[in-house]
Structure 1
């Protein structure tokens, strides 16, 4: 109203004001759905547009509108067939109205049946397979259209879609009722540091619950700062792909790397092109990823991780654990300056506020937390909770009230459901589902269930064997014939031979695969020494080393003195790991196959057939070297008895040669022998490389450090207790890793201090356990391995005297 304008109020103004009041007092056109009643979904598809309408019958059997949608088709959608456009309208509706359809059963009303078209296809592929997957989580029933009802309105929506330039509002009229919490994506911060003496990379992952996962990597080669930045982001993306994350936000303080990856900057330096291509390849494996540049001050944690890695270049390739603790020296010194120091292990627990209190305060007194983030969280999540008889409950998606318990009560519930009465020691996800079905809830119940199942000692001891190899294959290659030999014992053989022999002692050369073997009644230390002296040293020279197992005939003082006298190094394989001496084991298998076929008539003359079996083995063509063993050692093929009976070409030619020509021909063969051996060595290395690639495809890296607690597969040599039977555990322990050898071998000790033989890493796995104070006291005098415990080394003298 303008100034100096008289105010007039007549009957028409009064009626208009009354109409406004009446309109505001009437219910809105769009209603909220009622639980327990099915929804009605109308869909329509025109030539270039789609329409959908959601309704529900009220108590008077009258349809009430809940929501309506429409849009135009774009791109390839315009080329769809009419039935495919109807399917597209259904998919468009369920994507927009997902929160409605998940809570109710839905009756689909349409002229055509899109459900039948999608589900009746014999083979689903492309978009039809994607649509079928989207429809699988809803309960939708098709009802043929019999009357117009709301179909006319749906057709109107399809004929008049929302223009493409309009901004579609994401707010829903009843989003307070059907609220679905979307977890924020993971965040990754990266940084690289290049210095004069080394380079490092730092990666920091932040989960949706703000849990931190820091990683530092020492780069093995010096590089520029930009290369270190690329190394950091590639390492982080590799871990992201391994963790299976689908949403990720990446932040770094290097504007060059970020803008080159998003395409704003061109990669001009050739040394950065391989890094940029590898990063782009890994980015394509993540479905939803964003990259952003942040100032260095906001990336301080990743910068510190990279700086630490760049400074610690003196360490080798094994991972190092650097504890970071919060301390203040002055108060500690003042407190314990006059106290006697004795060893004590104690465990402290920090009291945490009950997570239910903030919701109880809000529901009872409308009191909100002081922090802005916590205040927003309580206001958003509080509608899911309710109070009943002064007890907090949470509404589930199945409309079931779950009693809210504290974390301590939840741990007790999980322990009882996992290993208590009727506890089946289920895995973490199943345990979480069981406790939830019983009617309990706390925010971290899934994570707590997984952790409890992982820490359960019974579950670890009875877990299945790990069949994937823990480390890559390490092939053994000798550089020259008879440089190294592998020895093994075959037997006892049943039946014994006619000469009462029951053992075969065999030795195989690692380069030429030449084998020597002899039969014995029994094998002692002197037997092995005589065999090496007569069959190997006196024939082919002193080998550089001999590979054997840990049997008593090989591991004794007589053998040690003999090896020391001739300068032979003796290597042994780990227990129950014949693959470490695989060449000897392979020859044993081949020799046994030949003997089985040659002694079929009289099984007690196998000691007489042993020479024939060795002869057959030596003149057989070998795939790795692509030659026979005889020609590989002597430079010429052996003359077989068959060639004498029916003269072959080479036998006929040699008969016509003079002695001088024969000597000259033999010298030429010997001069070309070295070249043949070098070519055979190259073929052998290529053959082993193919085997290594095939083996390493199944490798799942698993390593242990000194001081780790591990479980070992039960073997007779590893058994520390005499119990067995059908219900015996598959694993035994825990043991402590005392030494780490090369090629995946470890030395273990028991908690009592008893040393065990070396064992291969494929028979080990990590033991996850939280020590109690009593268990820590038992382990502390011999081993200083206390995990997840806070160790203090001081106690007041007065407390000790009072305890005495």
Structure 2
């Protein structure tokens, strides 16, 4: 912290000291030499008295009793603050009197690219700097973070973490930190003070402590082990109970496979317990038992006289030497009750045969390797005969028992597997697993769950076989009721393929509107409409009924005689469009008739869009005279043709005739263009008209470019929802039931949504398919979005 060089810096220094005056005794007296420099008109002269007072305050802030040691199991307070070029932090804690005490001060300057961080990123940097320096404090305590902004929310609520934010989030994941908004807390003022006066990067830090990161060492109590042995006529057992420093209990119960005395059982119990302790690598262990003989023999107070106990005593000494710090204590029988109970349980359950046993009992007999030079041959032979011993606590029973049980009762041992959750699962064969899946999926209480849910339910019933997840998915996928009652697939199966027309009247989309109720006064109830794909020009006529000859006459009189022979016409699969008359008519004029797939109006979207717009105009113009809609049809067509369309941003009239139509309103209230034309001569009008016709091609090219851009935007938006789904010739598929009315129920509440299966006879481009039934009858061409694969 540099010395103040002028009055402004001195005032700033004293202002910060005022916020932390409760940490400094006699602050007014310590600042007395500064008071004369603050008087008006006094020159700023930093003499020895000011320098000594400044150094005295700095020394006071870095020595006890300002900093104190943390209190175990109490939360910490972490204050962080940022400035333009520095960050600071203060670690504090409330003592027994609920007064905040400082534990650690931190501050540093920002360097390099850190100076360009946003304010919230600087706050995050201050937090990361604090947790890296105070790691050993924060791992041991829960921490309350106090700051102006919440860096935890900024880091953890980002939708995508990358770069330094991802690294910071990973560093924060191991700490228990809770954010508290900044209040009028004095500790925040000290954090701001540290941020304003950071340690310069060129300063060399001197450490007064060998390891400043380890400020608190928590000494845990040693482990405790209680053991006891039980010997009876029909068996013997050993019990061991470990007590961790956090008072967690680890009980062990062992069935001793050899008949032995009480003292031998005691030695067996301590040997088993010491073996476990050596495997756990316990640094400290206190051992307790109610047998004074065993304890005093192991401590050396008593001599071991019985030859059968000498190898056990010697082996126990070897195990005790492997533990760094161990102590043996004698306790009354009343204080060794749990270990005595564990030994008694093991001794009682030694010969229960086939009776139920829910207590996990480990079967073992431990005899240390004998020293041949100290034990006579007879004792050595005796010990070696009793050495079918295993160091494992989970040694199985006699290997002949399962064979005997199978020959006598035709029963096999239960094969169990332990799951990651600790549950014991019964292992099944492939055939048994399929039987379980079938019963759970579609049995008496089956709910026809999906594959993953079916797998979890079977696992919850404590069954296991290696391919249960794959079998569950396959079972749910091939279930016929699940296939026929599955939900509709709303995602399109193929990308969008818009119809492209390069010139006016090259392609028309045709459709029939009706029957319309009420009928018109002239008894008409249908409208036959056609829309040009390029200019959006529309033609429509009202009819009493629409037949094949009606459609052919409409195309001849309304389209060909006015606008020329089109290259192709797009229609649906309705009877008026799909017949011999239309085939001969199209063949005569060499017109391509393209039919959309059944129940797929989107394939002829332009015609459907015009139908919707025309109906809206008629609804708003007929008024109370509903039967006059056929008389209003020409006016609705005129309104549609003189309105700019969104794809081309031009009116259909201007794209066809090269100029905008003169509306009746412009005659009643002359517009500017009408007024200009009235003042022109005949030759000038002709020249103006020729100029408009010459610019018509350019206007149409611009409209085509706008149309292509519009179709491109629509295609990108549509393709985002595509989930590719295709079928090949010969595949079995299911089709949505017809008629496909998604807004109403069809065929009853419990009718299936799909029907079939059908065979794909032919696959067309753009996702259309020809299907046949099992008896060979053909179905209309169906779009792929109404199909899904069938699994027999």
TM-score normalised according to structure 1 size: 0.51
> Which residue of 151, 155, 163 corresponds with 2:218?
151
In 1, Cα distance between equivalents of 2:553 and 2:657:
25
User: Please, which of 606, 618, 636 is the counterpart of residue 613 of structure 1?
Assistant: 636
Contact 2:75 2:144 in 1 (8 A): no
What is the match of residue 80 of structure 1? 130
Contact 1:384–1:395 (CA<8 Å) still a contact in 2?
no
State how far apart, in whole Å, the 2-side matches of 1:384 and 1:492 are: 85
- Which of 665, 680, 687 is the equivalent residue of 2:688? 665
CA distance in 2, matches of 1:383, 1:754: 68
1:519-540 C-alpha deviation (Å, 9 max, x unpaired): 1111111111111111001111
From 473, 489, 493, the counterpart of 2:516:
493
Query: Partners of 2:508 and 2:590 in 1: how far apart?
Result: 14
Name the structure 2 match of 1:760: 783
1:664 and 1:421 map into 2 onto residues whose CA distance is 88
* Match of residue 125 from structure 1: 155
**How has the CA–CA distance of structure 1 residues 678 and 43 changed in structure 2, closer, same or farther, with 3 Å as cutoff?**
same
Match of 1:214 in 2: none
Quote how far apart the aligned CAs of 1:129 are.
6.6
Aligned length: 443
Q: Deviations over 1:504-560 (max 9, x none)?
A: 100001111100001111111111111111100111111111111111111111111
CA gap 1:84/1:632 in 2 versus in 1, 3 angstroms? farther
1:566-609 alpha-carbon deviations (Å, 9 max, x no partner):
11111100001001100000000000010010012211111100
**Counterparts of 1:619 and 1:78 in 2: how far apart (Å)?**
66
Distance 1:665 1:406, change over 3 A: same
Shift, 1:122, TM fit: 8.5
Question: Match of 2:9?
Answer: none
Q: 1:439 to 1:461 in 2, by over 3 A?
A: same
Change (3 A) 1:685 1:397: closer
Partners of 1:723 and 1:538 in 2: how far apart? 45
Distance apart, 1:645 and its partner CA: 0.8
Alignment partner of 1:640 out of 660, 663, 666? 663
Contact 2:75 2:142 (8 Å CA) reproduced: no
Q: CA deviation at 1:690?
A: 1.1
8 A Cα contact 1:87 1:114, kept in partner: no
Q: Cα–Cα, structure 1 residues 113 and 518, in superposed 2: closer, same or farther, change >3 Å?
A: same
Q: Structure 2: how far apart are the matches of 1:561 and 1:437?
A: 68
1:515 equivalent in alignment to 2:582: no
CA distance in 1, matches of 2:169, 2:752: 45
Report the Cα distance in structure 2 between the residues aligned to 1:728 and 1:446, rounded to whole angstroms.
30
Contact 2:531 2:538 in 1 (8 A): yes
Residue aligning to 1:223: none
RMSD between aligned alpha carbons? Answer: 3.8
Give the 3-state SS of the residue equivalent to 2:415 in structure 1: strand
Note the residue ranges of structure 2 that are not aligned, 5 or more in a row.
1-71, 79-124, 157-166, 177-215, 222-276, 282-362, 364-392, 403-411
Q: CA deviation at 1:133?
A: 7.4
Matched, 1:725 2:748: yes
Matches within 5 A, 1:140-179: 151-152=218-219
Of 592, 604, 627 in structure 2, the residue corresponding to residue 581 of structure 1 is 604
Structure 1 485/738 Cα, relative in aligned 2: closer, same or farther at 3 Å?
same
Cα distance between partner residues in 1 of 2:620 and 2:674? 30
Q: Which runs of 5+ in 1 are unaligned?
A: 1-40, 48-74, 90-109, 137-148, 155-171, 177-362, 364-381, 770-804
**Alignment pair present for 1:629 and 2:649:** no
> Aligned pair in 2 of structure 1 residues 391, 465: CA closer, same or farther (>3 Å)?
same
- Residue by residue, what CA displacement relative to the aligned partner does 1:733-762 show, whole Å, maximum 9, x if unpaired? 221111010111011112222211111111
Equivalence for 2:504: 481
TM-score by length of 2: 0.51
Greater Rg by CA: 2
Which structure has the higher relative contact order (CA within 8 Å, separation 6+)? Answer: 1
State the shift of 1:397 in Å.
Answer: 3.6
Partner SS state of residue 716, structure 1? coil
| Distance (whole Å) between structure 1 residues aligned to residue 482 and residue 427 of structure 2 | 28
Correspondences of 1:457-468 after superposition (within 5 Å): 457-468=480-491
Which residues of 2 match residues 374-413 of structure 1 at below 5 A? Answer: 390-413=413-436
Instruction: Give, in angstroms, the shift of residue 86 of structure 1.
Output: 5.4
Q: Per the alignment, in what secondary structure is the counterpart of residue 732 of structure 1? A: strand
- In structure 2, how many angstroms separate the alpha carbons of the residues matched to 1:705 and 1:383? 57
User: Where do residues 331-730 of structure 1 align in structure 2 (5 Å cutoff)?
Assistant: 390-716=413-739, 724-730=747-753
Distance 1:628 1:405, change over 3 A: same
Say if 1:404 and 1:440, in contact at 8 Å, map to a contact too.
Answer: yes
Kindly indicate whether residue 765 of structure 2 is the aligned counterpart of residue 742 of structure 1.
yes
Name the CA shift for 1:710/1:521 in 2 (closer, same or farther; >3 Å): same
Aligned equivalents of 2:128, 2:595: Cα separation in 1: 73
**Residues 682/623 of structure 1: CA separation in 2 closer, same or farther (3 Å cut):** same
Query: What is the deviation of 1:131?
Result: 8.1
Alpha-carbon distance between aligned partners in 2 of 1:611 and 1:712, rounded to the nearest angstrom: 41
Give 4+ residue runs of structure 1 displaced > 4 Å after superposition: 41-45, 75-78, 81-84, 114-117, 126-136, 172-176, 382-389
